[in-house]
Amino acid sequence: MAVSLGLFSWAGFLGCTAYFACPQGGIKGLFISGCTLMSGVIWALVIMKGSALAPHLEILGYIMTGVVAFLMCVQAKHLLLSFVPGTFMGACATFAGQGDWKLVVPSLALGLLFGYAMKNSGLWLAARREKAQNVPAVSE
């Protein structure tokens, strides 16, 4: 589906993985994963744009990356930004997509929605199967 929409399939996989890895499930997990992925995109753009301000000073890029990585962890004190791996996944996707956030964001979002759909449909099917197995057999 990603290819037909012109999206990054690998970024969709990261979005899906973020939902599965998030310790929260359901809608809450969907929002936490989404917020952390998108914050990672923003942080990566900060690093990329900030480093480009003085490309001749490589040390600036290293310092900026260190400071931003620290801030990515500090933001976890807020509930919707509490899934730190999601933040780093969003940043990594942005770096891999060479800063093309207009393509990275929908790719991550679609993958996130697919992850939500896969996990919850699987849980629904498992509950349905368990319910069917627990129904007593009718004797003739």
| Of 37, 20, 25, 45, nearest in space to 101 by CA | 45
Q: In the structure encoding, which two tokens stand for residue 99, read together? A: 């800063």
**Other C-beta atoms lying within 10 Å of the C-beta of residue 5:** 11
Q: Which residues contact 125 (CB under 8 A, 6 or more apart)?
A: none
Q: Write the pLDDT tens digit of every residue in 71-116.
A: 999 999 999 999 999 999 999 999 999 999 999 999 999 999 999 9
Q: Write the pLDDT tens digit of every residue in 29-49.
A: 999 999 999 999 999 999 999
Domain coordinates in residue numbering, the chain: 25-125
